Structure 1
Amino acid sequence: MFDGLKTLDLNALPPDVLEVVLAVGEQASVLTQQNAALTESNTTLATQNAELEALNARLEHFVKELNQVIYGSRSEKLTQDERQLAFEDLEVAQSEAEAQSDTIEMTKPRKKRKLAQRNLGNLPDHLERIEVIVEPDSIVCPCGCGDMIRIGEDHTERLEIVPAQPKVIVTIRPKYACPNKQGGVVQALAPVHLIEGGLPTEGTLAHIGVSKYADHCPLFRQSQIYARSGLNIDRSTLANWMGKVSFHLAPVVDHMLAQLKTSGKLFADETRCPVLDPGRGKTKTGYLWAIARDERPFGGTAPPGVVFCYADGRGGKHAEAFLTGFTGTLQVDGYAGYNALTKPGRNSGPVKLAYCWTHARRKLKEIHDRDGSPIAAEGLRRIAQFYKIETEVRGQSAPQRKSARQAQTKPLMDDFETWLKTVRSRISAKSRLGEKLSYVAKHMDGLKFFLDDGTVEMDSNIVERSIRPIALNRKNALFAGHDEGGRNWGRIASLIETCKLNNVEPYAYLKATLEAIAAGHPSARIDELMPWNFGKIA
């Protein structure tokens, strides 16, 4: 009670005064308690605010870092794959900050939070559902009438992922004999497998292949992952298995390449494939040459596909060897190694080369980013007009695309050529800008090729997208062990990337294909083993 009342003789006070004094003392006591509670609350809020300010500062730091790597100087920018990793880290940090913020504010009155507008994922119908029923502690009715009756239920679904669980398949083949010892012995034949007498099933081989060539997990890391489950499989053993897989898949990839070369329009590009050079202790530069087909932009009927052919160099002889038998239009980036394909004396007939506007644009973009050149900016503006028209005609038939290009793009292209000739006459051909403009002028015939053929694209981005996984795998694996390793890499990657182009699940395809090959799938029906014919595998 209020301390001042201690000096009073309460018994000597009149009843009405005593009542007032006691009421005032009680109120003062309540106010004292409320003041203490407010002081404690203010201290808590001050702490919470300090923590939230620290969180905001942390998130602002992440945003500044991302802005730097995305919009900063070229030397500090991230590659596309690195950028995705950076975004992942930012999102993880943001989620952590949100969780921490929720914890900080748990003592505050909870307001109904607006649902975040983000992709929370979905749970496909084909996933196995395991039902967990949570019953109340008691269903006895408080009114004493007995057990309550069930009137409904609430359903919630959450995603559960069980790590890979190695299993051992034990095959038992009973033997049967005549009880009279006259009919001999009967026993089922042993199931056939791709690696006879070996440990792995075709599903295991498919899983290892997809992990390495689709998910970019090198064999030595896979070996470490299996070891955590108590399964000790040396990296060299996994490599041996992949070599056998590559051998058995070679006819499938060869047939796929032959199918691609029957088309009248293909894309080609090449990417480095570092290969260990025995005896020197170093790596040498091999190349995976990507040959791709994709008719979807103009409504073609041929299924998309890509094949990676390994070579120990980048010379034109390799392009000639890989594209033997192909006659038609080849869309490339302007690399001179493909020029040998255009010679009239070529056995298969000369190939027409269409060049890539993305590469031409990139030349001007480099100058614009470095110097802010108004000439480069004008070139970029004009090229953007071409691409705007292409966006409008994408997906239309080849005749429709050609008609639109002739009516809309060709006049712009004529103006571009006039502009290009004018600006080149004003600047030194030896300057950096002059060199870039000379590149565009040199390849102008191939750059204009798409105007007269509705099946041709403005650029070779289709094949460039196909080789990005190769580059990512190269960063993880560092190099192939030898030239044959590069060929194996190319074969399995060809099937996996073609699966992706056709919306086919790579593991399911490889498993079914390896099982079919092990069972003796006839070579006359090899077309059934193409990724785009996955449903026909028997």
Structure 2
Amino acid sequence: MPAAAKIDLSSLPEDQRDVVADFLREHADLLAANAVLKAETTDLRQIVQRLEHLVAELNHVVHGKKSEKLDEDDRQLAFEDLEAAVAEVETQHDERASSDEVPRRKVTPAQRNRGNLPADLPRIEQIIEPDSLECPCGCGRMHRIGEDRAERLDIVPAQLRVLATIRPKYACRVCTDGVTQAPAPAALIEGGLPTEGAIAHVLVSKYADHLPLYRQSQILARSGVSIHRSTLADWVGVAGFHLRPVVDRLAEHLKSSGKLFMDETTAPVLDPGRGRTKTSYLWALARDDRAWGGADPPGVVFFYAPDRGGQNAERFLRGFDGTLQLDGYTGYNRLTRPSRKGGDPIRVAHCWAHARRKLKEVFDRDGSEIAAEGLRRIAEVYAVEADIRGSAPDQRLSARQARTAPLVAAFGDWLQAQRLRVSPKSRLGEKLAYIHRHWEGLQTFLHDGRVEIDSNSVENLIRPIALNRKNALFAGHDEGGKAWGRIASLVETAKINGIEPFAYLKATLEAIANGHPQSAIDDLLPWNFKPSS
């Protein structure tokens, strides 16, 4: 057909010229549309190929060999990078679609979660007026009949400012009775550089946003403020000292409960004498009764210990008498003995999630049918828990007695039968023995509607400790480990109570600097914080 474009219309009869001309124009339009479709197809093919590559990488991360899988935190980073790559590809496509070089069909933008802009954020309005308000027809000045409003999120990097306190001095010109001057405002660090807000910012950056102090020092330097990390460390130490009574009171409040969670996680600490780090631990003691509508607010305290010995748990739990939900670590066994120091023997509720995990490890490795059957039975128990989640304790107890108890009894019979069949030295035999050793504690939730089926609540609370461990690598010394646990206790308790950590720490440090009375220390607990308007 390109040859048709060379047709000399003048050589055609006059009554055919218009028909041929219309045909050629339609043909040219079809060629242009075809070119557009080819260009779009090429772009889409490139997008699909890249997305397929990204998805294949992610599938390898999520579903690949166990040794190559990422943990939950790293997996989130993988998802972030995938979404960023997808946005980059789509932006490239949109840019080419809007290019003047090749006409494109209008594409409806993808519906995305664009976030939200809270009403209390400060708003700076930019009113953009037309170049002229005179009517083009010469009727005079036009009148405003409405407006279009679009809001976008703007971010200004951390704004540093200097608070200059000026205290004028006054004296009488007649007498010499002395000089009058207002007293200096209270400060957490007398004569020091930082305000309480600056200290709170450093604490939140380190223990909530997981920014080591040397990185914070680098960020400040980019704004022209040179503050060495050792100075920032001094601020953290001072804050840790003044916040200790608040954390101690938080621990007392938690230990007055009838049911708590406990778990421990590693906290590497530098050991200068050996030129490397040593493995210390942060023990998390948590309360979270939200699953059954408990009146006590949730909270967590992290206790630092240089080792994982069970005597640490015994010391931290001094004064607590109740039910403790935990994993199968043998160090907790001493808590159930009559010889327990610091209280009566503790009633233990073991974690079904750990029991399930043991069987899942075997199933993932060799596809054991016995492990698969155990997982199926545990799934039935969890299905009941899903149905009663959020119910009152008495309702949960009633449902468990009626529906769950028969399932657990059947699981116990099945467990004993499989232990007779499987070698105790095999990998599966070891996992079944683990469940058998903790069988009594695994049944505790059947007799108390307040008790959870697992200890996932406290495991979720210690995840930020793992994030901080990855970023900071280790604590500088044992005292640093104690400060780590102390401030993390307040940060995480604030977060699970829906309190913004910076606002809470700033107000708390200001109250302490102004001499907040020890008798009213409960007012400084995170769940009692009232944000100012």
The TM-score normalised by the length of structure 2 is 0.94
- Determine which of 466, 474, 479 is the counterpart of 2:474: 479
Q: Which residue does 1:265 correspond to in 2? A: 259
Q: Which residue does 2:89 correspond to in 1? A: 97
Question: Cα deviation per residue 1:250-278 (whole Å; 9 max; x = unaligned)?
Answer: 11101100111111111100000000001
CA distance in 2: counterparts of 1:328 and 1:4, whole angstroms: 98
CA distance in 1: counterparts of 2:271 and 2:6, whole angstroms: 93
Moved more, 496-505 or 24-33: 24-33
Question: Cα deviation per residue 1:498-517 (whole Å; 9 max; x = unaligned)?
Answer: 00111111000000000000
Seq. identity, %: 60
- How many angstroms does 1:236 deviate by? 1.1
Q: Which residue does 1:285 correspond to in 2? A: 279
Contact 2:322 2:347 in 1 (8 A): yes
Give secondary structure in 2 for the equivalent of 1:535: coil
The alignment status of 1:294 with 2:280, answered yes or no, reads no
Contact 2:10 2:17 in 1 (8 A): no
- How many angstroms does 1:49 deviate by? 3.2
- Determine which of 209, 215, 235 is the counterpart of 2:209: 215
Q: Which residue does 1:387 correspond to in 2? A: 382
Contact 1:243 1:488 in 2 (8 A): yes
Q: Which residue does 1:338 correspond to in 2? A: 332
The alignment status of 1:403 with 2:403, answered yes or no, reads no
The alignment status of 1:182 with 2:176, answered yes or no, reads yes
Contact 2:261 2:286 in 1 (8 A): yes
Q: Which residue does 2:139 correspond to in 1? A: 145
- Determine which of 459, 481, 503 is the counterpart of 1:464: 459
Q: Which residue does 1:81 correspond to in 2? A: 73
Q: Which residue does 1:14 correspond to in 2? A: none
The alignment status of 1:322 with 2:316, answered yes or no, reads yes
Q: Which residue does 2:346 correspond to in 1? A: 351
- How many angstroms does 1:149 deviate by? 1.1
Q: Which residue does 1:13 correspond to in 2? A: none
CA distance in 1: counterparts of 2:19 and 2:224, whole angstroms: 71
Question: Cα deviation per residue 1:118-163 (whole Å; 9 max; x = unaligned)?
Answer: 3211111110011110100000012222211111112111111111
Contact 1:528 1:536 in 2 (8 A): no
CA distance in 1: counterparts of 2:526 and 2:315, whole angstroms: 24
- How many angstroms does 1:311 deviate by? 0.3
Q: Which ranges in structure 1 are unaligned for 5 or more consecutive residues? A: 6-16
Q: Which residue does 1:63 correspond to in 2? A: 55
Q: Which residue does 1:508 correspond to in 2? A: 503
Q: Which has the larger radius of gyration?
A: 1
- Sort the Cα spacing of 1:258 and 1:41 in 2 relative to 1 into closer, same or farther, 3 A: same
Question: Equivalences for 1:429-448 in 2 at 5 Å?
Answer: 429-448=424-443
- How many angstroms does 1:112 deviate by? 5.5
- How many angstroms does 1:105 deviate by? 2.3
Give secondary structure in 2 for the equivalent of 1:249: helix
- How many angstroms does 1:110 deviate by? 3.5
What letter corresponds to residue 407 of structure 2 in structure 1?
A: L
Give secondary structure in 1 for the equivalent of 2:125: coil
Question: Equivalences for 1:34-73 in 2 at 5 Å?
Answer: 46-73=38-65
Give me the CA root mean square deviation.
2.3
- How many angstroms does 1:232 deviate by? 1.0
CA distance in 1: counterparts of 2:208 and 2:60, whole angstroms: 30
- How many angstroms does 1:370 deviate by? 0.8
What letter corresponds to residue 253 of structure 1 in structure 2?
A: V
CA distance in 2: counterparts of 1:40 and 1:151, whole angstroms: 42
Question: Cα deviation per residue 1:402-426 (whole Å; 9 max; x = unaligned)?
Answer: 1111111001111111111111111
CA distance in 1: counterparts of 2:11 and 2:289, whole angstroms: 96
- How many angstroms does 1:83 deviate by? 0.7
- Sort the Cα spacing of 1:4 and 1:153 in 2 relative to 1 into closer, same or farther, 3 A: closer
Give secondary structure in 2 for the equivalent of 1:286: strand
Give secondary structure in 2 for the equivalent of 1:141: coil
- How many angstroms does 1:184 deviate by? 2.3
Q: Which residue does 1:412 correspond to in 2? A: 407
Contact 1:48 1:104 in 2 (8 A): no
- How many angstroms does 1:164 deviate by? 0.6
- How many angstroms does 1:96 deviate by? 1.1
CA distance in 1: counterparts of 2:196 and 2:442, whole angstroms: 46
The alignment status of 1:233 with 2:227, answered yes or no, reads yes
Contact 2:304 2:482 in 1 (8 A): yes
Give secondary structure in 2 for the equivalent of 1:353: strand
- How many angstroms does 1:181 deviate by? 3.4
- How many angstroms does 1:448 deviate by? 0.4
- How many angstroms does 1:45 deviate by? 5.2
Question: Cα deviation per residue 1:341-392 (whole Å; 9 max; x = unaligned)?
Answer: 1111224111111100010100000011111111101101110111111111
CA distance in 1: counterparts of 2:30 and 2:292, whole angstroms: 71
Give secondary structure in 1 for the equivalent of 2:260: strand
Question: Equivalences for 1:14-29 in 2 at 5 Å?
Answer: none
Contact 2:259 2:287 in 1 (8 A): yes
- Determine which of 187, 190, 200 is the counterpart of 1:196: 190
Contact 2:36 2:104 in 1 (8 A): no
CA distance in 1: counterparts of 2:406 and 2:7, whole angstroms: 99
Contact 1:219 1:235 in 2 (8 A): yes
How many residues end up aligned between the 2 structures?
524
CA distance in 1: counterparts of 2:527 and 2:305, whole angstroms: 26
- Determine which of 259, 269, 277 is the counterpart of 1:275: 269
Give secondary structure in 1 for the equivalent of 2:490: helix
Q: Which ranges in structure 2 are unaligned for 5 or more consecutive residues? A: none
The alignment status of 1:110 with 2:105, answered yes or no, reads yes
Moved more, 187-196 or 527-536: 527-536
What letter corresponds to residue 103 of structure 1 in structure 2?
A: E
Give secondary structure in 2 for the equivalent of 1:270: strand
What letter corresponds to residue 128 of structure 1 in structure 2?
A: P
CA distance in 2: counterparts of 1:379 and 1:4, whole angstroms: 81
